[in-house]
DNA sequence: AAATCGTGGTC
DNA sequence: TGACCAAGATT
């Protein structure tokens, strides 16, 4: 994620033809995503990257169009009503991202003259911006050289170079080193490499059902050459539970509030948060309380709740 | 550093 | 059907 100056004498890892194959495949097969279009500014790219954190492209696309049309610049979002921001976020999931994006917009206005900064340090200091998003903004918004390591890139490099079905549960130093070594020295080429590998992971080298016959690097894929061995970490990956969890309960509460103008009775929210799959009697109250402390819900009057209004802004504990 | 945080589609 | 997955960040 550092905006790596091309190291003097930088030599890409020795995977013959890999770059050329990916770049030419991308030139042919890239999706026409709205945030990739030439007119998109850095703010538009940043918005897309935050929306894309754990949310599939197909669901982000319409939300991004509406969002950027309504709040085209950071200053516009900074001035918006948080309740409207949460409604516009719709059901992208993880609604804290919406509040963080607004907090980010306010930071940009307050400390960056309303512009998206260009350094890793400044980007990482923004709410909701972590290592992936900072690198992605440098690469795709500023056309700079950065190590973009998302779940797609990790999977592609894991297979093609390391010969494993799926990467380890958490990012390793070795993966970062490998990605940095593979990054082309030329900035513009590095940008196309980054987006090309990501796109390859999304369209061909997919987690579930890889489309190997369509793969431009099939003949040099270490995983395929090894006979596509199964996932070493199979069974060790714990999938996140959903039914009966606080997250499901919180989701119910927010859905109720999103659909309602004005305030909602606490009893109604706790009823919405009552899950048949959960035997925990105080889960509804706990869900509501946690939403309050996250700033996603506001208590307007005793036991009367609503989506947050402009005023305090986003102030998590 | 493991847990937490939504939502919906797929096989 | 249910487990798995999706351009992660935060604490």
Query: In the numeric block, which tokens belong to residue A150?
Result: 């998302």
Q: Which nucleotide is nearest to A55 (CA to C1')?
A: C6
A57 Cβ nearer than 7 Å to chain C strand: yes
A200, A27 Cβ separation under 8 angstroms: no
Query: Which residues in range 79-98 of chain A are in contact with strand B, contact meaning CB within 7 A of any of its atoms?
Result: 91-96
Mapping DSSP onto H, E and C, the string for chain A reads CCCCCCCCCCCCCCCCCHHHHHHHHHHHHCCCCHHHCCCCCHHHHHHHHHHCCCCCHHHHHHHHHHHHHHCCCHHHHHCCCHHHHHHHHCCCCCCHHHHHHHHHHHHHHHHCCCCCCCCHHHHHCCCCCCHHHHHHHHHHHCCCCCCCCCHHHHHHHHHHHHCCCCCCCCCCHHHHHHHHHHCCCCHHHHHHHHHHHHHHHHHCCCCCCCCHHHCCCHHHCHHHHCCCCCCCCCCCCCCCCCCCCHHHHHHHHHHHHHCCCCCEEHHHHHHHCCCCCCCCCCHHHHHHHHHHHCCCCEEEECCEEECCCCCCCCCCC
Catalytic residues of A: 49
pLDDT score, position A61: 98
A33 Cβ nearer than 7 Å to chain C strand: yes
Q: Which nucleotide is nearest to A254 (CA to C1')?
A: B6
pLDDT score, position A317: 43
pLDDT tens, N- to C-terminus, chain A (317 residues):
445 555 544 445 556 699 999 999 999 999 999 999 999 999 999 999 999 999 999 999 999 999 999 999 999 999 999 999 999 999 999 999 999 999 999 999 999 999 999 999 999 999 999 999 999 999 999 999 999 999 999 999 999 999 999 999 999 999 999 999 999 999 999 999 999 999 999 999 999 999 999 999 999 999 999 999 999 888 788 889 999 999 999 999 999 999 999 999 999 999 999 998 888 999 999 999 999 999 999 999 999 999 999 865 444 44
CA A239 to C1' B11, whole Å: 16
| Positions on chain B within 7 A of a protein C-beta | 2-8, 10-11
CA distance A54 to A189: 26
CA A185 to C1' C11, whole Å: 36
Q: Taking the C1' atom of B3, which residue's CA lies nearest?
A: A240
CA A208 to C1' C2, whole Å: 16
CA A297 to C1' C2, whole Å: 32
Query: Which residues in range 36-55 of chain A are in contact with strand B, contact meaning CB within 7 A of any of its atoms?
Result: 54-55
pLDDT score, position A238: 83
pLDDT score, position A4: 55
Q: Taking the C1' atom of C7, which residue's CA lies nearest?
A: A52
pLDDT score, position A235: 79
CA distance A195 to A123: 19
Q: Which nucleotide is nearest to A206 (CA to C1')?
A: C5
pLDDT score, position A3: 56
CA A219 to C1' C3, whole Å: 32
Q: Taking the C1' atom of C10, which residue's CA lies nearest?
A: A128
Q: Which nucleotide is nearest to A104 (CA to C1')?
A: C9
Prediction pTM value: 0.95
CA A98 to C1' C11, whole Å: 18
A166 Cβ nearer than 7 Å to chain C strand: yes
């Amino acid at each position: 994620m550092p905006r790596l100056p091309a190291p003097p004498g930088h030599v890409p890892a020795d995977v013959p033809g890999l770059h050329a194959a990916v770049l030419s495949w991308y030139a042919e097969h890239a999706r026409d995503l709205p945030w990739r279009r030439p007119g998109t500014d850095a703010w538009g790219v940043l918005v897309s990257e935050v929306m894309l954190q754990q949310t599939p492209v197909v669901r982000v696309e319409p939300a991004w169009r509406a969002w950027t049309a309504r709040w085209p610049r950071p200053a516009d979002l900074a001035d918006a009503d948080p309740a409207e921001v949460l409604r516009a976020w719709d059901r992208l999931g993880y609604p804290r991202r919406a509040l963080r994006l607004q907090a980010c917009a306010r930071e940009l206005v307050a400390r960056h003259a309303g512009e998206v900064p260009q350094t890793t340090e400044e980007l990482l200091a923004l709410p909701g911006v972590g290592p992936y998003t900072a690198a992605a903004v440098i690469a795709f918004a500023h056309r700079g050289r950065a190590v973009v390591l998302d779940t797609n890139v990790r999977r592609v490099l894991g297979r093609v170079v390391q010969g494993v079905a799926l990467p380890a549960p958490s990012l390793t130093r070795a993966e970062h080193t490998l990605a940095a070594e593979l990054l082309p020295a030329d900035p513009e080429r590095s940008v196309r490499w980054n987006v090309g590998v990501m796109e390859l992971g999304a369209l061909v080298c997919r987690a579930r059902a890889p489309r190997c016959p369509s793969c431009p690097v099939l003949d040099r894929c270490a995983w395929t050459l090894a006979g596509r061995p199964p996932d070493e970490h199979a069974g060790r990956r714990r999938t996140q539970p959903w039914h009966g969890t606080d997250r499901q309960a919180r989701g119910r509460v927010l859905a109720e509030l999103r659909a309602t103008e004005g305030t909602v009775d606490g009893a109604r929210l706790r009823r919405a948060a009552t899950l048949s799959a959960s035997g925990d009697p105080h889960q509804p109250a706990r869900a509501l309380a946690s939403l309050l402390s996250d700033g996603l819900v506001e208590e307007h009057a005793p036991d009367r709740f609503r989506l947050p209004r402009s005023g305090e802004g986003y102030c998590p504990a």
